[in-house]
């Protein structure tokens, strides 16, 4: 009972602890929201790729005439003339 009375005398029935928890949560929230905002902005902020469009790969030709060979892996090659394939 002596310890309980001493604790109550210093904590005012837990109100100080609850106030500390509320203030801590509020301050952490006030810091957390801007940090997430800055992080999100940095993830979406990137320079334009317009100057480098000449280095992009061109799409393959739509229609191929004649015999074509397509590499399909380590040791497989597809040879096709448009109608039949080997």
First vs last C-alpha separation in the chain? 93
51: three-class secondary structure by DSSP: helix
Specify the DSSP element, H or E, that contains 78: strand 77-80
Mean pLDDT by 10 residues, the chain (86 residues): 51 73 91 91 87 86 77 88 84
Q: pTM value?
A: 0.37
Which residue's entry shows tokens 């929230």?
29
């Amino acid at each position: 009972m002596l310890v309980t009375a001493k604790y109550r005398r210093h904590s005012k029935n837990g109100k100080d602890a609850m106030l500390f928890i509320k203030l801590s949560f509020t301050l952490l929230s006030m810091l957390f929201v801007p940090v997430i905002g800055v992080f999100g902005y940095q993830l979406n902020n990137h320079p334009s790729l317009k100057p480098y469009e000449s280095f992009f790969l061109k799409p393959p030709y739509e229609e191929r005439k004649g015999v074509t060979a397509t590499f399909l892996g380590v040791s497989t090659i597809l040879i096709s003339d448009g109608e039949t394939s080997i």
